[in-house]
Amino acid sequence: MGRYFIDRYRLIGERYYGSQRSQVVRRYLTGFLWGNLSTIATSVTYLYVALQAIAGRLTLGDLTLYTTAAQSVQNSIQGILGGFSGMYEHNLYLSNLFELMETESVLPTRADPVPVPTPVRGEITFDHVSFAYPGATDNALTDLSFTVSAGETIAIVGRNGAGKTTLFKLICRLYDPGEGRILIDGVDIRDYDPAQLRAQIGGMFQDYVTYQATAAENIGLGSLGAIADRDAILKASRQAGSDGLIAGLPQGYDTALGKWFDAGVNLSGGEWQKVALARAFMRDARILLLDEPTSALDAQAEYELFERIHSLTRGRTAVYISHRFSTVRRADRIVFLEHGRLVEEGTHEQLMRLNGRYARLFRLQASAYTGEDVLPEDVDLDIAPTA
188-192, 245-249, 305-309, 359-363: least confident range = 305-309
Which tens digit of pLDDT belongs to each residue from 259-280? 888 888 999 888 898 899 899 8
Q: How confident is the model at residue 133 (pLDDT cuts 50, 70, 90)?
A: very high
Q: How confident is the model at residue 248 (pLDDT cuts 50, 70, 90)?
A: very high
Q: Is the pLDDT assigned to residue 239 strictly greater than 90?
A: no
Which tens digit of pLDDT belongs to each residue from 341-357? 999 999 999 999 999 99
Q: How confident is the model at residue 80 (pLDDT cuts 50, 70, 90)?
A: confident
Q: How confident is the model at residue 164 (pLDDT cuts 50, 70, 90)?
A: very high
Q: Is the pLDDT assigned to residue 117 strictly greater than 90?
A: no
Are 313 and 331 contacting, i.e. CB atoms less than 8 angstroms apart?
Answer: no
Q: Is the pLDDT assigned to residue 52 strictly greater than 90?
A: no
Q: Who's near 352: CB < 8 A, 6+ residues apart?
A: 358, 359, 362
Q: Give the pLDDT mean for 313-340.
A: 87
Are 148 and 319 contacting, i.e. CB atoms less than 8 angstroms apart?
Answer: yes
Q: Give the pLDDT mean for 105-127.
A: 88
- Predicted local confidence at residue 254, as pLDDT: 93
Are 166 and 131 contacting, i.e. CB atoms less than 8 angstroms apart?
Answer: yes
- Predicted local confidence at residue 375, as pLDDT: 52
pTM over 0.75: no
Q: Give the integer Cα–Cα distance in Å for 170 and 121.
A: 18
Please tell me the total number of residues recorded for the chain in this structure: 387
Q: What is the DSSP string of 184-250?
A: ETTEEGGGB-HHHHHHTEEEE-TT----SSBHHHHHHTTSGGGTT-HHHHHHHHHHHT-HHHHHTST
